[in-house]
């Protein structure tokens, strides 16, 4: 078994990323099968609990207030609406429920209290509950943990060098600070990025280098292909090549063997054959449901068919957790 390392050099990662594609897939598939059940793919569901009107300027994002997109601003949803959506997700086979809010950062106000209630409710249902709410302080992370939050998603998105070409309203260090606060609160870390934003291969390698050199690897790394949205500065970006998606997934799998690598945004444009190569290369999770946060995703029936054809089985919740689902018994709503 290869050891888990967090001292990868950029050159080593570059060498892996640039292997001939079939050698790369063979290597990453081998690592994947050493550490994971290769038939198992976790099905997760996303819900945008507060949509649009965000003050940040992330060039890819349809929810930034400054770009004119079709996204309608929606205030924070009610707790019972969210619980209903989580129940539907659970009933259709999801074991992780991720709530997203178009916030720059969490504020200590009534809305945050409501999110804490949502977290308690979803956790009580026995699902892994994840949030992505923007920047967090250590205290806010602790409150989320106490409410039963299992994971926090906060993407690095790209390399440190490319960052200010995509976002100017916050820094890479802001992002790393939040990830640190999440770690300190003992919440599992979900952090990855987007390809297809005009970055170079070295930028992608740089992002993987930062992620794989964090003190503990993120338990979860989403790999998104940009979904170009009309009205955003990146609306005319060409579709990213499937081979680049596979290279990202395979390299992430080799350098972070235990991590859940999530085939995230962009599946709507991928065939079952293309997705099969992503799973072979080490992706072991998808987002299901006909919408991601605001953009389209494959139909549930199409994914069911894919699972059948590829002989995949949905992964149970809390599989790798040291404290499997015990906490949710204890938190009264």
Distance (Å, rounded) from C-alpha 124 to C-alpha 301?
28
The residues pairing with 43 across neighbouring beta strands, listed in sequence order, are: 286
| Contact predicate 8/282, CB 8 Å | no
Is residue 98 part of the annotated active site? The answer reads: yes
| Contact predicate 55/65, CB 8 Å | yes
Task: Candidates 118, 265, 288, 312: give the one binding ligand SAM (CB under 6 A).
Answer: 265
Stretch binding ligand DTB (CB under 6 A), from 21-29, 277-285, 286-294, 300-308: 286-294
Task: Candidates 100, 196, 257, 289: give the one binding ligand DTB (CB under 6 A).
Answer: 100
98 binds, among ligand SF4, ligand DTB, ligand SAM, none (CB under 5 to 8 A by kind): ligand DTB
Q: Does 232 bind ligand SF4 (CB under 6 A)?
A: no
φ, ψ for residue 145, nearest 5 deg: -60, -45
Is residue 278 part of the annotated active site? The answer reads: no
The 8-class DSSP code of residue 291 comes to: B
Distance (Å, rounded) from C-alpha 9 to C-alpha 241?
25
Tokens 């080593």 found at: 12
In the chain, where does DSSP find H-type helix?
10-17, 21-35, 79-91, 110-124, 138-147, 163-166, 172-184, 201-212, 242-255, 272-280, 300-310, 327-330
Residue 126 or 198 having the CB closest to ligand SF4: 198
Task: Candidates 59, 94, 155, 275: give the one binding ligand SAM (CB under 6 A).
Answer: 155
Task: Candidates 64, 167, 227, 252: give the one binding ligand DTB (CB under 6 A).
Answer: 227
Neighbours of 214 (CB within 10 A): 17
Q: Residue 20 contacts by C-beta under 8 Å, 6 or more apart in sequence?
A: none
State in angstroms the smallest separation of the CB of 186 from ligand SAM.
20
Is residue 58 part of the annotated active site? The answer reads: yes
Reduced to 3 states (helix: H, G, I; strand: E, B; else coil), residue 195 is strand
Q: Does 224 bind ligand SAM (CB under 6 A)?
A: yes
157 binds, among ligand DTB, ligand SAM, ligand SF4, none (CB under 5 to 8 A by kind): ligand SAM
Six-digit token pair at 209?
């280098």
The 8-class DSSP code of residue 283 comes to: -
Residue count, binding to ligand DTB (CB under 6 A): 17
Task: Candidates 52, 121, 134, 282: give the one binding ligand SAM (CB under 6 A).
Answer: 134
250 binds, among ligand SF4, ligand DTB, ligand SAM, none (CB under 5 to 8 A by kind): none
Site for ligand SAM in 55-84 (CB under 6 A): 60-61, 63
> Which is it for strands 220-225 and 193-195: parallel, antiparallel or unpaired?
parallel
Stretch binding ligand SAM (CB under 6 A), from 85-93, 140-148, 224-232, 314-322: 224-232
Site for ligand SF4 in 37-66 (CB under 6 A): 54, 56, 58, 61, 63-64
Binding footprint of ligand DTB on the chain (CB under 6 A) = 46, 62, 98, 100, 132, 153, 155, 192, 222, 224, 227, 264-265, 292-295
Residues forming contacts to ligand SF4 in the complex (CB under 6 A) are 54, 56, 58, 61, 63-64, 102, 104, 134
């Amino acid at each position: 078994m290869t050891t888990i390392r967090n001292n990868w050099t950029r050159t080593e990662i570059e060498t892996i990323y640039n292997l001939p594609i079939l050698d790369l897939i063979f290597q990453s598939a081998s690592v994947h099968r050493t550490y994971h059940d290769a038939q198992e793919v976790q099905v997760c569901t996303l819900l945008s609990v507060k949509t649009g009107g965000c003050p940040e300027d992330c060039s890819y994002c349809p929810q930034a207030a400054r770009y004119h997109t079709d996204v309608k601003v929606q205030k924070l949803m009610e707790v019972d609406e969210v619980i209903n959506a989580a129940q539907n997700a659970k009933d259709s086979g999801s074991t992780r429920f991720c709530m997203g809010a178009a916030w720059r950062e969490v504020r200590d106000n009534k809305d945050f209290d409501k999110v804490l209630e949502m977290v308690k409710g979803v956790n009580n249902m026995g699902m892994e509950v994840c949030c992505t709410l923007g920047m967090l302080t250590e205290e806010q992370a602790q409150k989320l943990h106490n409410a039963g939050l299992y994971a926090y998603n906060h993407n690095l998105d790209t390399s440190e060098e490319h960052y200010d070409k995509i976002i100017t309203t916050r820094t890479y260090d802001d992002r790393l600070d939040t990830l640190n606060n999440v770690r300190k609160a003992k919440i599992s870390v979900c952090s990855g990025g987007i390809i297809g934003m005009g970055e170079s291969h070295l930028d992608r390698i740089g992002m993987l280098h930062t992620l794989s050199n964090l003190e503990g690897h993120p338990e979860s790394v989403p790999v998104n292909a940009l979904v170009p949205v009309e009205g955003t500065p990146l609306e005319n970006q060409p579709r990213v090549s499937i081979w680049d998606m596979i290279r990202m997934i395979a390299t992430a799998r080799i350098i972070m063997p235990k991590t859940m690598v999530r085939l995230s945004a962009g599946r709507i444009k991928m065939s079952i054959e293309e997705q099969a190569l992503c799973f072979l290369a080490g992706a072991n999770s998808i987002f299901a449901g006909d919408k991601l946060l605001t953009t389209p995703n494959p139909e549930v029936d199409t994914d069911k068919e894919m699972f059948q054809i590829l002989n995949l089985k949905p992964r149970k919740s809390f599989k790798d957790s040291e404290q499997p689902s015990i906490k949710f018994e204890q938190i009264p709503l």
